[in-house]
Amino acid sequence: MSVSKTNIVLSSGAKARIVVAEAAAFAVEAYSLEPAVPAVRRIAARLARARLGAPVYDVPHPSVRQPARSYAWGDGRSAEVHSARVGAILDRLAEVGTSPVDLWCDRRGTAPTRLPVPMAGTDLLRLRSASLERHQLLANGSYFLFHHEEFDTPFEAYGDPIGLVAVGGTILAPAQVNRASLTGRAGRFAVERVQFCDLRIVLPGGQVIATHAFGDHDPGLVAGPIAMARYFGALDGRTPVAPAVTEVVIVGRHAVAVIAGGNVPIPRTGCVLRFPGRPDAKMLDALIAGEPLDYVIEGQALKDAVQAGPRIVSGGQVSVDEATMLAEHVFVREASGDLRQPSPFRWHADAHETRAARLGAGVRADRTLFFCAIEGRSSYSGGGQARGATLHDLAYLLVECGAVDGLHLDGGGSMQLFRPYGGALLTPGDVCHDFADPFAEYDRPVPLGLRLDLS
């Protein structure tokens, strides 16, 4: 069968319900490309408020333009904002008496803040499953910004995907740290590690911008245009100070702000383009008008891809240990001059302790693709002891099913698997404390899904 569902005993000795699905192909669906219908936005906002314990508000897509507005940015400088999204965020912060500088300082702290949380494009997979064909499944995909501590620039929003996202041959969001990705290239599936410096950026008009090397922090880097990300040229998450530079903040593929002088917080959902002096006026006008840039990668073009990780199977062997996870920069403990911990902020990178719902993808020696989903419930969500699988459990299961390469996709309360018309193959594991019944289960809104064509 192309889909099997059974109860098994995991390698750790715990019992679990699993689903294994053979996939002839997968396609990434990015729900942030278009606004959700009002009813879904209301549901998503209510669930987000309950989960975060903070007010949330919807924000426009980064591509939605507004007339240029200036906002105080600290050090006597201002940000020239051209995005309705960022304008909405900064306006709301001003209502509660918070400046962008205060936001940056607060979010870097350990205590969750109670500032308004901007909400980006998410949707409910159960509703999206109405468009599935009989031979298809819909699953969650990759990590996204989710907790208070993750919103540490005015450019980011709840639900923004973190890491590489490619849809139908277009890279919508760039890779960040060197983490495993599930990639599809003209019918060939693979698990490969991709990082920001593997990409090149093509601006409107055709100018190509190089991306900064990993871990190199050079405050004097103004010789030519370059793109920077959190671990690629940043100093403590910001661009280096340099009076003669102009920087364009990018979220996804779209420009959202123009700032001179450096010291700009870099969003994990995009990058910052750094130009010596003033960039080409025609190109900058195109970006400001909403024309997207393009990310390109060496070799055969990606068709669809999501980045998650860690890679837990390599060469047909279980490869789950702390060294493997640190090698993928799930946690950067001694990153000199930069943030110590990339998102996802609260993702527990251990092999044998944390139990949760899990979703994994495996590629066999003949390059066929399959997915393993394990039902679970996280211990921090209330309702008793944690249920589900450890990363080692998932890795062992992928190997048992024939994987020579495998990775962990997003799990926990995000793990969902639907047949057409809302048929859940496994019980969702999200819990919403804001309602009378703490044991009620809810589908978590997510920013993207994987549409699986069954073989």
Q: Is 223 left (phi over 0), alpha (psi -120 to 50) or beta?
A: alpha
Q: Where are the domains of the chain?
A: 3-454
pLDDT at 113: 61
Give the separation between CA 142 and CA 354, rounded to whole angstroms.
Answer: 19
| Tally of helices (H runs) and strands (E runs) in the chain | 7, 29
Tens digit of each residue's pLDDT (9 = 90 or more) over 233-260: 887 788 888 888 999 999 999 999 999 9
Give the tokens for residue 154.
Answer: 């005015």
pLDDT at 258: 95
Q: Which residue has the tokens 């426009």?
A: 60
Contact 276, 225 (CB under 8 A): yes
Burial class of 3 by CB neighbour count within 10 A (0 to 12, 13 to 18, 19+): middle
Give the tokens for residue 284.
Answer: 């900058």
Give the separation between CA 250 and CA 252, rounded to whole angstroms.
Answer: 6
Contact 119, 158 (CB under 8 A): yes
Give the separation between CA 16 and CA 394, rounded to whole angstroms.
Answer: 11
pTM reported for the whole predicted model: 0.93
Give the separation between CA 151 and CA 56, rounded to whole angstroms.
Answer: 12
Q: Taking the CA atoms of 69, 73, 79 and 82 in sequence, report the sign of the dihedral they define.
A: negative
Q: Which residue has the tokens 């995009």?
A: 270
pLDDT at 283: 96
- Helices 100-108, 84-95: inter-axial angle, 10-degree rounding: 80
Contact 66, 90 (CB under 8 A): no
Residue pLDDT tens, the chain, 455 long: 699 999 999 999 999 999 999 999 999 999 887 777 888 888 888 888 877 778 888 888 999 999 999 988 766 778 899 999 999 999 998 888 887 777 766 555 555 566 788 988 889 999 999 999 999 999 999 899 887 777 778 898 988 998 999 999 999 999 998 889 999 988 799 999 999 999 999 999 999 999 998 766 665 555 689 999 988 888 778 888 888 899 999 999 999 999 998 889 899 899 999 999 889 999 999 999 999 999 999 877 899 999 998 999 999 999 987 777 767 766 555 544 455 555 555 566 688 888 899 999 999 999 999 999 999 976 544 455 668 999 999 999 999 999 999 999 999 889 999 999 999 999 887 766 666 566 677 888 999 999 999 97
Q: What does residue 195 show for φ and ψ, rounded to 5 degrees?
A: -135, 170
Cis peptide, bond prior to residue 267, ω within 30 of zero: no
Give the separation between CA 274 and CA 248, rounded to whole angstroms.
Answer: 7
E-state strands within 141-178: 165-167, 170-173
Q: Which residue has the tokens 């393993």?
A: 372
Tens digit of each residue's pLDDT (9 = 90 or more) over 364-390: 999 999 999 999 976 544 455 668 999
User: Which is nearest to 254 in space by CA: 79, 62, 413?
Assistant: 62
Give the tokens for residue 455.
Answer: 């073989």
Contact 357, 411 (CB under 8 A): yes
pLDDT at 405: 97
Contact 306, 27 (CB under 8 A): no
